[in-house]
Amino acid sequence: MADRVMKIASERAVVVFTLSSCCMCHTMTQLMADLSVNAMVHELDRDPRGKEMEAALLKMLGGEGPAVPALFVGGKLVGGTKKVMSLHLARELVPMLKNAGALWL
């Protein structure tokens, strides 16, 4: 199932795995929108294999914290909410997005 996650993650410069009912997932997708990033949002609760993918994401994240939201930039796992917000506050997220070709400023 990790292969399926990576395949989806590599389809666009920025991919966010979410659950439609998750407020932190909404926050992550809103952050991408606020940064003018056209992220692909993959809602696991709308995917027939979503539960399996969620388990694979949790494993990829080291088994710690919730599996979603999970941000991939340039096909690589960046992390969940805590990691992404830390990068954003440290002004490291925007350069990462620029390097992946997801942002032009």
- DSSP annotation of 68: -
Peptide bond before 66: cis, by omega within 30 degrees of 0? no
CA–CA distance, 2 with 53 (Å, rounded to integer): 7
Question: Which domains does the chain carry?
Answer: 1-100 (3.40.30.10)
pLDDT tens digits, one per residue of 48-100: 999 999 999 999 999 888 999 999 999 999 999 999 999 999 999 999 999 99
pLDDT tens digits, one per residue of 54-67: 999 999 999 888 99
